C-alpha cells in the first residue's frame, strides 16, 4: 500500500483523545477485618502482566476502617506485584456496605483515572463492581478467565464463559474507560510473594459521614467454617458425577477422599439431585478449583464442569464412555465403571501409602 | 405494598448444545424457562404479599416469546405482568438493560408507588449479576445483594432489615425502602400456584410495552449504542493439545487398572506422591 517502502508499514492506531489521561492498571484489594481475600493476590499476579504489556504501573486499592492494618495490606500488595497503593481508611468503610464503598471507589477512579480496574468476583466484588460500573457508565465483564491486552489499541480483551459455560466469548470495552473486569477466585494462579519488593502508599481522605449513609450494619455473624468444605483451596479433590448411578454409591467418592486426605467435589446434576451439598459443586455455577490432583469419577466433562476445574495440575478421569469429553482434557483416563474402579483405587492408594510408610 | 420483580426468560443451560462446526448455540428444542434464580425473588415477593397484602408486578425485557415466562409468574400468584419488548433493545448489554428496566420501573411507579424491587442473584445464561445493582444505582435506591432472609419490614417507617450473605459471614442490615433486593438461591421454595391463578394467568391481558410506552425517550441509552461492552468473538473451548493418557491392562481388571494408574501417575509426578504420603502420614 505504501509508496515509500523504506520503513516497514506499521499500523498506527491513534488512541482516543478522551483516553489519554487514563493510565495504569488497578486491582481492588478486598479485605474484611484485616484479612485479605486471596483472589486479590491472584488478580495482582494477573494485573502485573497487563501493566507490563501496557508499560504502566500496577496499583492496589485498599479500603478499610481506621483501626485496621491498611498500610500492612498495602505492604503485602507490593510483594505480590503492586507498584503503588491507594489507601482509604475511614470509619464508614469499616464494614463493607455498597453505598460508601461505591462512592469511595468511584471518587478514586474519577480522580486518578485508571485504564483498567479489576475486582474479585466475590460477593463483595460483584456487588461493588456492578454499582461502580453503572455509576461510571462504563463496561464491566464478569468472571473473566483470560485477560489480554491488544497492544496497538491498548484495549483489554476479556474472555469469559457464557451460556452456563457452553461457550466462551471475548468482550471489549473500546469506547469507555476504565475497562472493568471481575475474575473468580482460583481462576488465575497465585503469584509468588517477593519480600524484597516495596512501593508507594498514597493515602486518600474520604469525606462521607455516617449520618448520610442509609444502610446500617446491625451485626456481622461470622461463618462457622469448621465443617465447611473449602474446595477452591483444596490440594486434592475427588469428585463424583451421574455415572455413580445411585446416591448411596457417592460414598465411594468419600472413601477414596478419606484415604487421600482430599476434599469431595461433585458435578452439577449430582448436586441438583441432592447427593452432595451446594458447597461441593465444581463448575461454572459452582466453585472454581485449582488442586494438585483432581479425580473425576463418573463425570462426563461438560464444559460447565470443565471451566471450574481445568486449572488442576493433574486430572484423572474415570468414565464408562471412551468418547466422553472429559478424556479430551484429563491427563490420565480409565474407561470403566466408577463403581468398581473407585474402590480399587482406594485400595491401591491405601496399599501404596502403607508401603511408602514402611519404606520411609 | 407493591413489589416489582424483574425476571428473565432463559434457555435451560443444562440442555444447551453447541453446534460442533459453527460454534453457535443450538436453541432448537431447548426449553425456555424462567431464570431459576428469579423464582426465589418472586416467591419472596409473594410471601410479603401474603403477610402485608398488596400487589406483585412482574417485569421482563425480552422477545415476544418471553410472555410465556410472565404467564408462568402470574400462575404462581403475581398480580400484574409487563413485557418490555422492542427491536431497539437488541444487543443491549447489562448497562443498557439496567437502564431500560430502571426506566420501566419509574413508569410503573408513576401509576403505583413501589416499596421493593426484587431480582434473582444472577441469570444462568449471562451469569453476570450486574443488572440488579445497575437498576438500584440508576434509581438511586439502596442495594441489598445476596439476601438470604427478610427479617423485618416496617411499611409505615419505611424500614427493612435483612440478612445478607457476605464474605465469611452474614450481615444483618437495616435500610430504608424503597430498595432493591437480589435474593440468594435456596432461601425459599416456590409455591404451587392455585387453580384460580392458573386460569387467570392463561386469560390475563398482560401489558406489552415498546420503548416509548416504557418511557425510554433516549434511544442512545439502549441497544448496541447504549452498551459499552462489545462481544468480539464467540468460540468453543479448545481441547487440550493432548488427549488423556489412557490406562489399560490386558484383563482390564479394576484392581490391576488402579495399580497401573498409580504407578504411572507417581512415576511422572513424584512430587504428588510425596504430597499424598505427607497427608496420609
Question: How far off is chain A from B192, nearest CA to CA, in Å?
Answer: 20
Mean pLDDT of chain B: 93
**Backbone φ, ψ for residue A149 (5° rounding):** -90, 130
pLDDT in tens, B174-233: 999 999 999 999 899 999 999 999 999 999 999 999 999 999 999 999 999 999 999 998
Q: Which residue is it, cell 465443617?
A: A227
d(CA B75, CA B203): 10
User: Are the beta carbons of A48 and A77 closer than 8 angstroms?
Assistant: no
d(CA A325, CA A319): 10
Question: How far off is chain A from B123, nearest CA to CA, in Å?
Answer: 9
B81 or B26: which leads in pLDDT: B81
Confidence of residue A209 (pLDDT cuts 50, 70, 90): very high
pLDDT score of A2: 44
B13 or A270: which leads in pLDDT: A270
pLDDT score of B120: 97
Q: Cβ contact (<8 Å) for B126 and A162?
A: yes
Candidates B195, B74, B163, B54; CA nearest to A217 is: B163
d(CA B224, CA B222): 7
pLDDT score of A167: 83
Chain B residues near residue A18 by CB distance under 8 angstroms: none
- Mean pLDDT comparison of A51-60, A227-236, A269-278, B29-38, highest-scoring range: A51-60
Grid cell locating A8: 516497514
Mean pLDDT, rounded, for A162-178:
89
Mode of pairing for the β-strands spanning B179-183 and A263-266: unpaired
Given a cut of 90, whether residue B278 has pLDDT beyond it is no
For this complex, say whether ipTM is above 0.85: yes
Confidence of residue A1 (pLDDT cuts 50, 70, 90): very low
Q: State the helix-helix crossing angle for B254-268 and A338-359, rounded to 10 degrees.
A: 50
Alpha helices by DSSP H, chain A: 38-54, 70-79, 98-112, 123-136, 251-260, 268-272, 303-309, 338-359
Percent of chain A with pLDDT over 70: 96
pLDDT score of A9: 52
pLDDT in tens, A313-331: 999 999 999 999 999 999 9
Q: State the helix-helix crossing angle for B195-203 and B67-76, rounded to 10 degrees.
A: 150
pLDDT score of B58: 98
Candidates A70, A71, A61; CA nearest to A118 is: A61
Q: Which residue is it, cell 517502502?
A: A5
Mean pLDDT, rounded, for A3-24:
72
Chain B interface, best mutation among A98, A135, A324, by max B CB count within 10 A = A98
Chain A residues near residue B237 by CB distance under 8 angstroms: 167-168, 303, 306-307
Given a cut of 60, whether residue A4 has pLDDT beyond it is no
Q: Cβ contact (<8 Å) for B171 and A306?
A: no
d(CA B2, CA B114): 5
Domains present along chain A, CATH in parentheses: 17-212 (3.40.50.620), 231-359 (3.40.50.1220)
Q: Cβ contact (<8 Å) for A122 and B266?
A: no
Chain B residues near residue A285 by CB distance under 8 angstroms: 124, 127
Chain B residues near residue A155 by CB distance under 8 angstroms: none
Grid cell locating B65: 416469546
Grid cell locating A359: 519404606
Given a cut of 90, whether residue A155 has pLDDT beyond it is yes
Grid cell locating B281: 502420614
pLDDT score of B250: 86
Q: Cβ contact (<8 Å) for A236 and B279?
A: yes
Three-state DSSP at A3 gives coil
Percent of chain B with pLDDT over 70: 96
pLDDT score of A52: 98
Mean pLDDT of chain A: 93
Q: Cβ contact (<8 Å) for A140 and B95?
A: yes
Q: Which CATH superfamily is domain B2-221 in?
A: HUPs (3.40.50.620)
pLDDT score of B281: 61
Q: Cβ contact (<8 Å) for A259 and B280?
A: yes
Q: Cβ contact (<8 Å) for B261 and A215?
A: no
> Residue B115, Cβ neighbours under 10 Å: how many?
20
CB nearest to B258's CB, from A163, A303, A345:
A345
Which DSSP symbol is given to B222?
S
Confidence of residue B253 (pLDDT cuts 50, 70, 90): very high
Amino acid at each position: 500500500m505504501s509508496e515509500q517502502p523504506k520503513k516497514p508499514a506499521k499500523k498506527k492506531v491513534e488512541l482516543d483523545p478522551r483516553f489519554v489521561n487514563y493510565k495504569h492498571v488497578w486491582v481492588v484489594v478486598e479485605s474484611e477485618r484485616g484479612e485479605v481475600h486471596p483472589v486479590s493476590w491472584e488478580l495482582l499476579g494477573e494485573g502485573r502482566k497487563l501493566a507490563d504489556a501496557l508499560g504502566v504501573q500496577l496499583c492496589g486499592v485498599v479500603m478499610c476502617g481506621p483501626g485496621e492494618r491498611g498500610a500492612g495490606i498495602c505492604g503485602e500488595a507490593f510483594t505480590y506485584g503492586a507498584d503503588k497503593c491507594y489507601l482509604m481508611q475511614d470509619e464508614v468503610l469499616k464494614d463493607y456496605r455498597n453505598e460508601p464503598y461505591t462512592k469511595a471507589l468511584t471518587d478514586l477512579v474519577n480522580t486518578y483515572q485508571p485504564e483498567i480496574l479489576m475486582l474479585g468476583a466475590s460477593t463483595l466484588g460483584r456487588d461493588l463492581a456492578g454499582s461502580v460500573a453503572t455509576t461510571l457508565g462504563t463496561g464491566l465483564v464478569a468472571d473473566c478467565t483470560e485477560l489480554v491486552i491488544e497492544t496497538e489499541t491498548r484495549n483489554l480483551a476479556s474472555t469469559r464463559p457464557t451460556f452456563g459455560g457452553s461457550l466462551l466469548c471475548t468482550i471489549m470495552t473500546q469506547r469507555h474507560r476504565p475497562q472493568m473486569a471481575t475474575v473468580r477466585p482460583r481462576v488465575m494462579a497465585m503469584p509468588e510473594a517477593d519480600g524484597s519488593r516495596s512501593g508507594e502508599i498514597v493515602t486518600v481522605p474520604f469525606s462521607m459521614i455516617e449520618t448520610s449513609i442509609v444502610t446500617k450494619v446491625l451485626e456481622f455473624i461470622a461463618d462457622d467454617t469448621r465443617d465447611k468444605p473449602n474446595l477452591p483451596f483444596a490440594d486434592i479433590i475427588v469428585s463424583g458425577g451421574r455415572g455413580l448411578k445411585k446416591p448411596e454409591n457417592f460414598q465411594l467418592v468419600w472413601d477414596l477422599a478419606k484415604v487421600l486426605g482430599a476434599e469431595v467435589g461433585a458435578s452439577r446434576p449430582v448436586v441438583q439431585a441432592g447427593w452432595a451439598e451446594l458447597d461441593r459443586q465444581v463448575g461454572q455455577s459452582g466453585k472454581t478449583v485449582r488442586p494438585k490432583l483432581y479425580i473425576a469419577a463418573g463425570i462426563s466433562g461438560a464444559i460447565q464442569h470443565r471451566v471450574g476445574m481445568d486449572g488442576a495440575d493433574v486430572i484423572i478421569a474415570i468414565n464408562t464412555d471412551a468418547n466422553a469429553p472429559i478424556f479430551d482434557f484429563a491427563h490420565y483416563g480409565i474407561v470403566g465403571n466408577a463403581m468398581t474402579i473407585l474402590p480399587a483405587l482406594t485400595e491401591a492408594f491405601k496399599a501404596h501409602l502403607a508401603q511408602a510408610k514402611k519404606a520411609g | 405494598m407493591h413489589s416489582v420483580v424483574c425476571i428473565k426468560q432463559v434457555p435451560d443451560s443444562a440442555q444447551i448444545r453447541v453446534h460442533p462446526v459453527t460454534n453457535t448455540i443450538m436453541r432448537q428444542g431447548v426449553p425456555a424457562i424462567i431464570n431459576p434464580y428469579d423464582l426465589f425473588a418472586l416467591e419472596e415477593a409473594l410471601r410479603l404479599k401474603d403477610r402485608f397484602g398488596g400487589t406483585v408486578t412482574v417485569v421482563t425485557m425480552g422477545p415476544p416469546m418471553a410472555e410465556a415466562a410472565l404467564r408462568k409468574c402470574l400462575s404462581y400468584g403475581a398480580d400484574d405482568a409487563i413485557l418490555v419488548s422492542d427491536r431497539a433493545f437488541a444487543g443491549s448489554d447489562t448497562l443498557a438493560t439496567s437502564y431500560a428496566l430502571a426506566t420501566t420501573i419509574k413508569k410503573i411507579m408513576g401509576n403505583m408507588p413501589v416499596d421493593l424491587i426484587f431480582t434473582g442473584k444472577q441469570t444462568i445464561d449471562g451469569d453476570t449479576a450486574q443488572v440488579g445493582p445497575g437498576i438500584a444505582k440508576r434509581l438511586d435506591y439502596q442495594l441489598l445483594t445476596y439476601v438470604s432472609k427478610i427479617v423485618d419490614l416496617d411499611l409505615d417507617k419505611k424500614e427493612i432489615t435483612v440478612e445478607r450473605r457476605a464474605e465469611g459471614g452474614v450481615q444483618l442490615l437495616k435500610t430504608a425502602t424503597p430498595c432493591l433486593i437480589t435474593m440468594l438461591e435456596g432461601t425459599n421454595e416456590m409455591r404451587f400456584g392455585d387453580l384460580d391463578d392458573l386460569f387467570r394467568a392463561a386469560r390475563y391481558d398482560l401489558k406489552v410495552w415498546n420503548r416509548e410506552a416504557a418511557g425510554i425517550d433516549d434511544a442512545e441509552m439502549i441497544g448496541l449504542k447504549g452498551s459499552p461492552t462489545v462481544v468480539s468473538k464467540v468460540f468453543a473451548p479448545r481441547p487440550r493439545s493432548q488427549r488423556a493418557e489412557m490406562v489399560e491392562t490386558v484383563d482390564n481388571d479394576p484392581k490391576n487398572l488402579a495399580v497401573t494408574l498409580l504407578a504411572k501417575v507417581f512415576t511422572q509426578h513424584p512430587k504428588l506422591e510425596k504430597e499424598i504420603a505427607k497427608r496420609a502420614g
